[in-house]
Structure 1
Amino acid sequence: MLLPGALLALVLAAQVWFLRGRSRGAAGRYRRWLIRAPLAMLVPALVALAALGRLDALWRFPPEFMGLRALLPAMEASAVAIGSLAGVTGGLAIIALRARFGRPLPAALRRMMPAPGERGWAALVAAMAGVVEEPLYRLVLPLLVTMLGGSALAGFAAASIVFARAHRYQGIRGMALSGSFGLVLAGLYVLSGQLWLVVVLHALNNAGALVVWPAVAGARGAASTTAVRPE
Protein backbone atom coordinates (compact mmCIF):
# COMPACT_ATOMS: atom_id res chain seq x y z
CA MET A 1 0.00 0.00 0.00
CA LEU A 2 2.87 2.37 0.77
CA LEU A 3 4.42 2.31 -2.71
CA PRO A 4 1.15 2.81 -4.65
CA GLY A 5 0.21 5.63 -2.29
CA ALA A 6 3.54 7.38 -2.77
CA LEU A 7 3.32 6.97 -6.54
CA LEU A 8 -0.23 8.32 -6.58
CA ALA A 9 0.97 11.37 -4.65
CA LEU A 10 3.76 11.79 -7.20
CA VAL A 11 1.52 11.75 -10.26
CA LEU A 12 -1.04 14.06 -8.65
CA ALA A 13 1.70 16.51 -7.63
CA ALA A 14 2.86 16.54 -11.24
CA GLN A 15 -0.69 17.36 -12.30
CA VAL A 16 -0.81 20.30 -9.90
CA TRP A 17 2.46 21.60 -11.33
CA PHE A 18 1.07 21.27 -14.85
CA LEU A 19 -2.16 23.08 -14.03
CA ARG A 20 -0.36 26.00 -12.41
CA GLY A 21 1.54 26.54 -15.64
CA ARG A 22 -1.74 27.05 -17.51
CA SER A 23 -2.07 30.60 -16.22
CA ARG A 24 0.40 31.99 -18.73
CA GLY A 25 -0.73 33.74 -21.90
CA ALA A 26 -1.67 32.20 -25.22
CA ALA A 27 1.62 33.02 -26.93
CA GLY A 28 3.68 29.85 -27.32
CA ARG A 29 1.04 27.73 -25.58
CA TYR A 30 1.47 24.72 -27.87
CA ARG A 31 5.25 24.72 -27.54
CA ARG A 32 4.89 25.01 -23.77
CA TRP A 33 2.52 22.04 -23.79
CA LEU A 34 5.01 19.91 -25.73
CA ILE A 35 7.57 20.53 -22.98
CA ARG A 36 5.40 20.50 -19.87
CA ALA A 37 2.82 17.80 -20.64
CA PRO A 38 5.31 14.95 -21.11
CA LEU A 39 7.07 15.97 -17.89
CA ALA A 40 3.78 16.17 -15.97
CA MET A 41 2.04 13.12 -17.45
CA LEU A 42 4.11 10.65 -19.45
CA VAL A 43 7.26 10.72 -17.31
CA PRO A 44 5.42 10.21 -13.97
CA ALA A 45 3.35 7.44 -15.55
CA LEU A 46 6.45 5.59 -16.77
CA VAL A 47 8.23 6.13 -13.45
CA ALA A 48 5.23 4.69 -11.58
CA LEU A 49 5.01 1.64 -13.83
CA ALA A 50 8.76 1.04 -13.55
CA ALA A 51 8.66 1.36 -9.76
CA LEU A 52 5.83 -1.18 -9.63
CA GLY A 53 7.64 -3.50 -12.05
CA ARG A 54 4.64 -3.17 -14.36
CA LEU A 55 5.96 -1.62 -17.56
CA ASP A 56 4.38 -4.54 -19.40
CA ALA A 57 0.99 -3.00 -18.56
CA LEU A 58 1.60 -0.68 -21.51
CA TRP A 59 0.85 -3.62 -23.81
CA ARG A 60 -0.77 -6.17 -21.48
CA PHE A 61 -4.17 -5.51 -19.96
CA PRO A 62 -3.75 -5.41 -16.15
CA PRO A 63 -5.46 -8.24 -14.26
CA GLU A 64 -6.67 -5.65 -11.72
CA PHE A 65 -9.16 -4.48 -14.37
CA MET A 66 -10.47 -7.90 -15.36
CA GLY A 67 -13.33 -7.78 -12.85
CA LEU A 68 -14.63 -4.59 -14.45
CA ARG A 69 -14.29 -6.06 -17.93
CA ALA A 70 -16.42 -9.02 -16.83
CA LEU A 71 -19.28 -6.60 -16.11
CA LEU A 72 -19.26 -5.26 -19.68
CA PRO A 73 -20.61 -6.97 -22.81
CA ALA A 74 -18.19 -9.50 -24.26
CA MET A 75 -16.77 -8.13 -27.49
CA GLU A 76 -13.79 -8.98 -29.67
CA ALA A 77 -10.97 -6.45 -29.39
CA SER A 78 -10.86 -6.15 -33.19
CA ALA A 79 -14.57 -5.29 -33.34
CA VAL A 80 -14.14 -2.59 -30.69
CA ALA A 81 -11.15 -1.16 -32.54
CA ILE A 82 -12.83 -1.12 -35.96
CA GLY A 83 -16.08 0.32 -34.65
CA SER A 84 -14.48 3.07 -32.57
CA LEU A 85 -12.02 4.08 -35.30
CA ALA A 86 -14.86 4.23 -37.81
CA GLY A 87 -16.90 6.34 -35.41
CA VAL A 88 -14.10 8.83 -34.83
CA THR A 89 -13.38 9.05 -38.56
CA GLY A 90 -17.04 9.83 -39.16
CA GLY A 91 -16.84 12.44 -36.42
CA LEU A 92 -13.93 14.12 -38.20
CA ALA A 93 -16.03 14.30 -41.37
CA ILE A 94 -18.86 15.94 -39.40
CA ILE A 95 -16.42 18.44 -37.90
CA ALA A 96 -15.19 19.33 -41.39
CA LEU A 97 -18.75 19.85 -42.63
CA ARG A 98 -19.64 22.02 -39.65
CA ALA A 99 -16.51 24.08 -40.12
CA ARG A 100 -17.33 24.52 -43.82
CA PHE A 101 -21.05 25.17 -43.67
CA GLY A 102 -22.00 25.70 -40.02
CA ARG A 103 -22.09 28.74 -37.82
CA PRO A 104 -18.82 30.26 -36.55
CA LEU A 105 -17.57 29.02 -33.22
CA PRO A 106 -18.49 31.02 -30.09
CA ALA A 107 -15.85 33.51 -29.04
CA ALA A 108 -14.79 31.36 -26.06
CA LEU A 109 -13.99 28.45 -28.37
CA ARG A 110 -12.40 30.59 -31.06
CA ARG A 111 -9.80 31.68 -28.53
CA MET A 112 -8.74 28.05 -28.17
CA MET A 113 -8.14 27.57 -31.89
CA PRO A 114 -4.58 27.95 -33.20
CA ALA A 115 -3.65 31.06 -35.13
CA PRO A 116 -2.36 30.40 -38.67
CA GLY A 117 1.22 30.60 -37.45
CA GLU A 118 0.51 28.05 -34.68
CA ARG A 119 -1.10 25.34 -36.78
CA GLY A 120 2.03 23.26 -37.18
CA TRP A 121 2.60 23.22 -33.42
CA ALA A 122 -1.08 22.51 -32.83
CA ALA A 123 -0.95 19.52 -35.20
CA LEU A 124 2.04 18.17 -33.28
CA VAL A 125 0.17 18.60 -30.00
CA ALA A 126 -2.84 16.75 -31.45
CA ALA A 127 -0.62 13.87 -32.56
CA MET A 128 1.18 13.66 -29.22
CA ALA A 129 -1.79 14.13 -26.89
CA GLY A 130 -2.78 10.48 -26.80
CA VAL A 131 0.78 9.27 -26.33
CA VAL A 132 1.36 11.69 -23.46
CA GLU A 133 -1.97 11.50 -21.65
CA GLU A 134 -3.46 8.02 -22.11
CA PRO A 135 -0.81 6.03 -20.18
CA LEU A 136 -1.55 8.26 -17.18
CA TYR A 137 -5.32 8.74 -17.32
CA ARG A 138 -6.42 5.36 -18.66
CA LEU A 139 -3.77 3.15 -17.09
CA VAL A 140 -1.62 4.44 -14.23
CA LEU A 141 -4.13 6.51 -12.25
CA PRO A 142 -6.88 3.84 -12.37
CA LEU A 143 -4.31 1.15 -11.56
CA LEU A 144 -2.94 2.98 -8.51
CA VAL A 145 -6.42 3.70 -7.14
CA THR A 146 -7.37 0.05 -7.64
CA MET A 147 -4.19 -1.15 -5.93
CA LEU A 148 -4.92 1.13 -2.98
CA GLY A 149 -8.10 -0.80 -2.31
CA GLY A 150 -10.59 1.00 -4.53
CA SER A 151 -12.47 -0.74 -7.29
CA ALA A 152 -11.38 -0.46 -10.91
CA LEU A 153 -14.60 1.46 -11.58
CA ALA A 154 -13.67 4.00 -8.91
CA GLY A 155 -10.18 4.21 -10.40
CA PHE A 156 -11.41 5.04 -13.88
CA ALA A 157 -13.98 7.49 -12.51
CA ALA A 158 -11.32 9.28 -10.44
CA ALA A 159 -8.95 9.40 -13.41
CA SER A 160 -11.68 10.91 -15.60
CA ILE A 161 -12.27 13.61 -12.99
CA VAL A 162 -8.55 14.46 -12.96
CA PHE A 163 -8.61 14.40 -16.78
CA ALA A 164 -11.52 16.85 -16.79
CA ARG A 165 -9.71 19.07 -14.29
CA ALA A 166 -6.70 19.21 -16.60
CA HIS A 167 -9.02 20.85 -19.17
CA ARG A 168 -10.33 23.55 -16.85
CA TYR A 169 -9.12 26.21 -19.29
CA GLN A 170 -12.09 25.16 -21.47
CA GLY A 171 -14.61 26.26 -18.85
CA ILE A 172 -17.27 24.22 -17.06
CA ARG A 173 -18.84 22.88 -20.26
CA GLY A 174 -15.46 21.90 -21.64
CA MET A 175 -14.54 20.14 -18.43
CA ALA A 176 -17.82 18.20 -18.51
CA LEU A 177 -17.23 17.17 -22.11
CA SER A 178 -13.63 16.20 -21.38
CA GLY A 179 -14.68 14.11 -18.38
CA SER A 180 -17.34 12.36 -20.47
CA PHE A 181 -14.82 11.73 -23.23
CA GLY A 182 -12.46 10.29 -20.63
CA LEU A 183 -15.14 7.86 -19.49
CA VAL A 184 -15.80 6.80 -23.09
CA LEU A 185 -12.08 6.17 -23.63
CA ALA A 186 -11.95 4.22 -20.38
CA GLY A 187 -14.85 2.04 -21.53
CA LEU A 188 -13.20 1.38 -24.88
CA TYR A 189 -9.92 0.54 -23.18
CA VAL A 190 -11.56 -1.93 -20.84
CA LEU A 191 -13.61 -3.48 -23.67
CA SER A 192 -10.66 -3.87 -26.01
CA GLY A 193 -7.82 -4.32 -23.54
CA GLN A 194 -5.66 -2.29 -25.92
CA LEU A 195 -4.02 0.92 -24.71
CA TRP A 196 -2.83 1.77 -28.24
CA LEU A 197 -6.45 2.09 -29.35
CA VAL A 198 -7.33 4.89 -26.95
CA VAL A 199 -4.01 6.58 -27.73
CA VAL A 200 -5.02 6.73 -31.41
CA LEU A 201 -8.61 7.74 -30.66
CA HIS A 202 -7.45 10.56 -28.40
CA ALA A 203 -5.09 11.85 -31.08
CA LEU A 204 -7.81 11.74 -33.75
CA ASN A 205 -10.27 13.55 -31.50
CA ASN A 206 -7.77 16.34 -30.87
CA ALA A 207 -6.98 16.52 -34.57
CA GLY A 208 -10.61 17.43 -35.20
CA ALA A 209 -10.37 20.51 -33.00
CA LEU A 210 -6.78 21.56 -33.63
CA VAL A 211 -6.23 20.56 -37.28
CA VAL A 212 -9.43 19.86 -39.23
CA TRP A 213 -11.59 22.72 -37.95
CA PRO A 214 -8.96 25.48 -38.28
CA ALA A 215 -7.93 24.27 -41.74
CA VAL A 216 -11.47 24.06 -43.13
CA ALA A 217 -12.73 27.20 -41.40
CA GLY A 218 -9.62 29.06 -42.55
CA ALA A 219 -10.18 27.96 -46.13
CA ARG A 220 -13.79 29.10 -45.91
CA GLY A 221 -12.68 32.48 -44.61
CA ALA A 222 -10.14 32.83 -47.40
CA ALA A 223 -12.74 31.92 -50.03
CA SER A 224 -15.18 34.42 -48.55
CA THR A 225 -12.55 37.16 -48.60
CA THR A 226 -11.72 36.41 -52.23
CA ALA A 227 -15.39 36.50 -53.21
CA VAL A 228 -15.93 40.01 -51.90
CA ARG A 229 -12.58 41.44 -52.95
CA PRO A 230 -13.12 44.55 -55.13
CA GLU A 231 -11.75 44.48 -58.66
Structure 2
Amino acid sequence: MLAASMALLLALGCYWLFLKGKLADRLGVHQRGRRASYLFWVAKSAALFVAPTLLILACLGALGSLIVMPRAFADAALQLGVTPGGAMQDTGFLFAVVGGLAGGALLGAIVARMQRKRGRRPWMIGDLRSILPATRAELPYAAGIAVAAGISEELFFRLLLPLLIGVLSGSALFGFAVSALLFAGAHRYQGWKGMAGSGALAVIFTVFYWMTASLWMTMALHMLVDLNGLVLRPLVLGLRASGDSRS
Protein backbone atom coordinates (compact mmCIF):
# COMPACT_ATOMS: atom_id res chain seq x y z
CA MET A 1 0.00 0.00 0.00
CA LEU A 2 2.88 2.35 0.77
CA ALA A 3 4.37 1.79 -2.67
CA ALA A 4 1.00 2.45 -4.31
CA SER A 5 0.54 5.61 -2.24
CA MET A 6 3.96 6.94 -3.21
CA ALA A 7 3.30 6.06 -6.84
CA LEU A 8 -0.03 7.88 -6.82
CA LEU A 9 1.57 10.98 -5.32
CA LEU A 10 4.18 10.90 -8.09
CA ALA A 11 1.49 10.48 -10.74
CA LEU A 12 -0.60 13.34 -9.37
CA GLY A 13 2.51 15.51 -9.18
CA CYS A 14 3.15 14.86 -12.86
CA TYR A 15 -0.48 15.69 -13.62
CA TRP A 16 -0.15 18.99 -11.74
CA LEU A 17 3.01 19.85 -13.66
CA PHE A 18 1.24 19.05 -16.93
CA LEU A 19 -1.44 21.61 -16.12
CA LYS A 20 1.13 24.30 -15.39
CA GLY A 21 1.94 26.55 -18.34
CA LYS A 22 4.84 28.46 -16.84
CA LEU A 23 7.60 26.20 -18.18
CA ALA A 24 6.66 26.83 -21.81
CA ASP A 25 6.59 30.57 -21.14
CA ARG A 26 9.94 30.53 -19.39
CA LEU A 27 11.54 28.62 -22.24
CA GLY A 28 10.03 31.00 -24.76
CA VAL A 29 8.35 28.15 -26.61
CA HIS A 30 5.33 30.14 -27.78
CA GLN A 31 7.55 32.91 -29.13
CA ARG A 32 9.21 30.40 -31.43
CA GLY A 33 5.97 29.65 -33.24
CA ARG A 34 3.16 27.12 -33.24
CA ARG A 35 5.33 24.27 -34.48
CA ALA A 36 7.61 24.67 -31.46
CA SER A 37 4.51 24.65 -29.25
CA TYR A 38 3.34 21.40 -30.87
CA LEU A 39 6.72 19.73 -30.32
CA PHE A 40 6.85 20.97 -26.73
CA TRP A 41 3.40 19.51 -26.01
CA VAL A 42 4.47 16.10 -27.36
CA ALA A 43 7.66 16.17 -25.29
CA LYS A 44 5.75 17.26 -22.19
CA SER A 45 3.18 14.47 -22.51
CA ALA A 46 5.96 11.93 -22.98
CA ALA A 47 7.87 13.19 -19.94
CA LEU A 48 4.88 13.61 -17.60
CA PHE A 49 2.51 10.86 -18.73
CA VAL A 50 4.39 8.12 -20.57
CA ALA A 51 7.67 8.01 -18.63
CA PRO A 52 6.07 8.03 -15.14
CA THR A 53 3.56 5.37 -16.17
CA LEU A 54 6.24 3.00 -17.44
CA LEU A 55 8.49 3.70 -14.43
CA ILE A 56 5.74 3.14 -11.87
CA LEU A 57 4.44 0.00 -13.56
CA ALA A 58 7.97 -1.38 -13.70
CA CYS A 59 8.56 -0.63 -10.01
CA LEU A 60 5.28 -2.29 -9.08
CA GLY A 61 5.97 -5.30 -11.29
CA ALA A 62 2.88 -4.51 -13.34
CA LEU A 63 4.28 -3.97 -16.84
CA GLY A 64 2.18 -6.90 -17.96
CA SER A 65 -0.91 -4.69 -17.61
CA LEU A 66 0.19 -2.96 -20.81
CA ILE A 67 -0.78 -6.13 -22.66
CA VAL A 68 -3.25 -7.93 -20.39
CA MET A 69 -6.09 -6.04 -18.72
CA PRO A 70 -5.69 -6.07 -14.92
CA ARG A 71 -8.06 -8.42 -13.14
CA ALA A 72 -9.51 -5.56 -11.11
CA PHE A 73 -10.48 -3.78 -14.35
CA ALA A 74 -12.19 -6.89 -15.69
CA ASP A 75 -14.14 -7.23 -12.44
CA ALA A 76 -15.17 -3.57 -12.66
CA ALA A 77 -16.48 -4.13 -16.18
CA LEU A 78 -18.45 -7.16 -15.08
CA GLN A 79 -20.05 -5.15 -12.28
CA LEU A 80 -21.62 -2.94 -14.95
CA GLY A 81 -22.63 -5.83 -17.16
CA VAL A 82 -19.79 -5.48 -19.69
CA THR A 83 -17.98 -8.65 -20.74
CA PRO A 84 -14.25 -7.85 -20.78
CA GLY A 85 -12.87 -8.48 -24.25
CA GLY A 86 -16.25 -9.58 -25.56
CA ALA A 87 -16.08 -7.18 -28.48
CA MET A 88 -12.91 -8.86 -29.73
CA GLN A 89 -14.99 -11.86 -30.67
CA ASP A 90 -17.31 -9.69 -32.73
CA THR A 91 -15.55 -8.24 -35.76
CA GLY A 92 -18.83 -6.67 -36.84
CA PHE A 93 -18.81 -4.51 -33.74
CA LEU A 94 -15.27 -3.29 -34.36
CA PHE A 95 -16.02 -2.47 -38.00
CA ALA A 96 -19.16 -0.66 -36.89
CA VAL A 97 -17.20 1.45 -34.41
CA VAL A 98 -14.53 2.41 -36.93
CA GLY A 99 -17.05 2.91 -39.74
CA GLY A 100 -19.37 4.96 -37.57
CA LEU A 101 -16.50 7.07 -36.33
CA ALA A 102 -15.17 7.68 -39.84
CA GLY A 103 -18.60 8.44 -41.28
CA GLY A 104 -19.55 10.73 -38.43
CA ALA A 105 -16.22 12.56 -38.65
CA LEU A 106 -16.58 13.14 -42.37
CA LEU A 107 -20.19 14.26 -42.06
CA GLY A 108 -19.30 16.62 -39.23
CA ALA A 109 -16.45 18.12 -41.25
CA ILE A 110 -18.71 18.66 -44.27
CA VAL A 111 -21.39 20.34 -42.14
CA ALA A 112 -18.73 22.56 -40.58
CA ARG A 113 -17.50 23.57 -44.04
CA MET A 114 -21.04 24.45 -45.10
CA GLN A 115 -21.43 26.57 -41.96
CA ARG A 116 -18.25 28.45 -42.74
CA LYS A 117 -19.35 29.12 -46.33
CA ARG A 118 -22.54 30.63 -44.94
CA GLY A 119 -20.52 32.94 -42.75
CA ARG A 120 -21.22 31.02 -39.56
CA ARG A 121 -18.61 29.85 -37.10
CA PRO A 122 -18.19 26.06 -37.39
CA TRP A 123 -19.59 24.29 -34.36
CA MET A 124 -17.19 22.37 -32.14
CA ILE A 125 -17.11 21.06 -28.62
CA GLY A 126 -14.78 23.35 -26.73
CA ASP A 127 -12.29 25.97 -27.82
CA LEU A 128 -9.55 24.25 -29.81
CA ARG A 129 -8.09 27.34 -31.45
CA SER A 130 -4.86 27.13 -29.46
CA ILE A 131 -3.95 23.76 -31.00
CA LEU A 132 -5.71 23.79 -34.39
CA PRO A 133 -3.30 24.00 -37.34
CA ALA A 134 -3.41 27.29 -39.23
CA THR A 135 -1.59 26.12 -42.36
CA ARG A 136 -1.09 22.86 -44.24
CA ALA A 137 2.52 22.87 -43.10
CA GLU A 138 1.31 22.50 -39.51
CA LEU A 139 -0.84 19.44 -40.23
CA PRO A 140 1.94 16.88 -39.56
CA TYR A 141 2.60 18.54 -36.19
CA ALA A 142 -1.10 18.45 -35.32
CA ALA A 143 -1.19 14.79 -36.34
CA GLY A 144 1.77 14.21 -34.03
CA ILE A 145 -0.18 15.67 -31.13
CA ALA A 146 -3.15 13.40 -31.94
CA VAL A 147 -0.96 10.30 -31.93
CA ALA A 148 0.95 11.37 -28.82
CA ALA A 149 -2.30 12.11 -26.97
CA GLY A 150 -3.76 8.73 -27.88
CA ILE A 151 -0.74 6.94 -26.43
CA SER A 152 0.15 9.10 -23.44
CA GLU A 153 -3.33 9.90 -22.17
CA GLU A 154 -4.57 6.31 -22.39
CA LEU A 155 -1.50 5.06 -20.54
CA PHE A 156 -1.97 7.63 -17.80
CA PHE A 157 -5.75 8.04 -17.49
CA ARG A 158 -7.04 4.62 -18.54
CA LEU A 159 -4.34 2.47 -16.97
CA LEU A 160 -2.08 4.07 -14.37
CA LEU A 161 -4.48 6.28 -12.41
CA PRO A 162 -7.39 3.79 -12.26
CA LEU A 163 -4.95 1.06 -11.25
CA LEU A 164 -3.36 3.05 -8.41
CA ILE A 165 -6.59 4.60 -7.14
CA GLY A 166 -8.30 1.22 -7.38
CA VAL A 167 -5.59 -0.43 -5.28
CA LEU A 168 -5.78 2.24 -2.59
CA SER A 169 -9.58 2.61 -2.52
CA GLY A 170 -10.47 -1.00 -3.16
CA SER A 171 -12.64 -0.02 -6.13
CA ALA A 172 -11.42 0.09 -9.73
CA LEU A 173 -14.73 1.71 -10.70
CA PHE A 174 -13.95 4.58 -8.36
CA GLY A 175 -10.51 4.77 -9.92
CA PHE A 176 -11.98 5.10 -13.39
CA ALA A 177 -14.46 7.74 -12.20
CA VAL A 178 -11.75 9.89 -10.61
CA SER A 179 -9.53 9.44 -13.64
CA ALA A 180 -12.33 10.58 -15.95
CA LEU A 181 -12.69 13.79 -13.92
CA LEU A 182 -8.93 14.38 -14.03
CA PHE A 183 -8.96 13.71 -17.78
CA ALA A 184 -11.62 16.39 -18.19
CA GLY A 185 -9.55 18.76 -16.04
CA ALA A 186 -6.52 18.22 -18.27
CA HIS A 187 -8.53 19.82 -21.10
CA ARG A 188 -9.49 22.96 -19.20
CA TYR A 189 -7.81 25.10 -21.86
CA GLN A 190 -10.81 24.18 -24.08
CA GLY A 191 -13.28 25.84 -21.71
CA TRP A 192 -16.15 24.20 -19.84
CA LYS A 193 -17.67 22.75 -23.03
CA GLY A 194 -14.38 21.13 -23.91
CA MET A 195 -14.04 19.74 -20.41
CA ALA A 196 -17.56 18.30 -20.56
CA GLY A 197 -16.86 16.76 -23.95
CA SER A 198 -13.56 15.33 -22.71
CA GLY A 199 -15.33 13.84 -19.69
CA ALA A 200 -17.83 12.14 -22.00
CA LEU A 201 -14.99 10.83 -24.15
CA ALA A 202 -13.30 9.45 -21.05
CA VAL A 203 -16.40 7.36 -20.38
CA ILE A 204 -16.51 6.18 -24.00
CA PHE A 205 -12.83 5.25 -24.01
CA THR A 206 -13.23 3.42 -20.70
CA VAL A 207 -16.17 1.35 -21.92
CA PHE A 208 -14.35 0.61 -25.18
CA TYR A 209 -11.32 -0.50 -23.15
CA TRP A 210 -13.52 -2.84 -21.14
CA MET A 211 -15.27 -4.22 -24.21
CA THR A 212 -12.02 -4.93 -26.07
CA ALA A 213 -9.76 -5.59 -23.06
CA SER A 214 -7.10 -3.93 -25.20
CA LEU A 215 -5.37 -0.74 -24.14
CA TRP A 216 -3.73 -0.54 -27.56
CA MET A 217 -7.03 -0.59 -29.42
CA THR A 218 -8.31 2.10 -27.08
CA MET A 219 -5.24 4.15 -27.92
CA ALA A 220 -6.05 3.71 -31.61
CA LEU A 221 -9.64 4.88 -31.05
CA HIS A 222 -8.37 7.91 -29.13
CA MET A 223 -5.97 8.72 -31.96
CA LEU A 224 -8.76 8.54 -34.56
CA VAL A 225 -10.93 10.91 -32.53
CA ASP A 226 -8.10 13.42 -32.19
CA LEU A 227 -7.01 13.06 -35.83
CA ASN A 228 -10.55 13.95 -36.81
CA GLY A 229 -10.52 17.13 -34.77
CA LEU A 230 -6.94 18.23 -35.45
CA VAL A 231 -6.37 17.06 -39.03
CA LEU A 232 -9.47 16.02 -40.98
CA ARG A 233 -11.75 18.81 -39.83
CA PRO A 234 -9.25 21.65 -40.41
CA LEU A 235 -8.32 20.14 -43.78
CA VAL A 236 -11.94 20.05 -44.93
CA LEU A 237 -12.56 23.57 -43.63
CA GLY A 238 -9.64 24.81 -45.68
CA LEU A 239 -6.14 25.79 -44.66
CA ARG A 240 -3.62 28.18 -46.14
CA ALA A 241 -0.98 26.43 -48.21
CA SER A 242 1.68 28.36 -46.35
CA GLY A 243 2.05 31.31 -44.06
CA ASP A 244 3.68 32.59 -40.94
CA SER A 245 2.98 29.92 -38.34
CA ARG A 246 4.12 32.28 -35.57
CA SER A 247 0.88 34.23 -35.66
Contact 1:129–1:203 (8 Å) recurs in 2? yes
Give the C-alpha shift of residue 106 in structure 1.
6.2
Greater mean alpha carbon deviation, residues 196-205 or residues 93-102: 93-102
Greater mean alpha carbon deviation, residues 158-167 or residues 19-28: 19-28
Residues 83, 5 of structure 1: alpha-carbon distance in 2 compared, 3 angstrom cutoff = farther
Q: What are the residue-to-residue correspondences of 1:64-213 with 2, within 5 Å?
A: 64-71=72-79, 72-74=81-83, 75-79=86-90, 80-103=93-116, 104-105=121-122, 108-116=127-135, 117-213=137-233
In the alignment, does 2:2 pair up with 1:2? yes
How many residue pairs end up in the alignment? 221
Residues 135-165 of structure 1, C-alpha deviation per residue, up to 9 Å, x if partnerless?
1111110000111123111110111111111
Q: What are the residue-to-residue correspondences of 1:13-52 with 2, within 5 Å?
A: 13-21=13-21, 24=25, 25=30, 27=34, 28-52=36-60
Give the C-alpha shift of residue 112 in structure 1.
4.0
Structure 1-normalised TM-score?
0.87
Q: Secondary structure, in 3 states, of the residue corresponding to 1:114? A: coil
> Unmatched 5+ residue regions in structure 1?
223-231
Matched to 1:77, the amino acid is M
Give 4+ residue runs of structure 1 displaced > 6 Å after superposition.
none
Matched to 1:182, the amino acid is A
Matched to 1:139, the amino acid is L
2-side partners of 1:136 and 1:165: how far apart? 14
Contact 2:180–2:199 (8 Å) recurs in 1? yes
> Unmatched 5+ residue regions in structure 2?
242-247
Identity in percent: 35
Give the C-alpha shift of residue 21 in structure 1.
2.4
2-side partners of 1:151 and 1:36: how far apart? 30
Give the C-alpha shift of residue 64 in structure 1.
1.2
Contact 1:31–1:121 (8 Å) recurs in 2? yes
Residues 150, 83 of structure 1: alpha-carbon distance in 2 compared, 3 angstrom cutoff = farther
1-side partners of 2:59 and 2:230: how far apart? 35
Give the C-alpha shift of residue 183 in structure 1.
1.1
1-side partners of 2:100 and 2:171: how far apart? 29
RMSD: 2.2
2-side partners of 1:45 and 1:90: how far apart? 34
Structure 2-normalised TM-score?
0.82
Give the C-alpha shift of residue 99 in structure 1.
3.2
1-side partners of 2:89 and 2:99: how far apart? 12
Counterpart in the other structure of 1:57? 65
Contact 2:82–2:210 (8 Å) recurs in 1? no
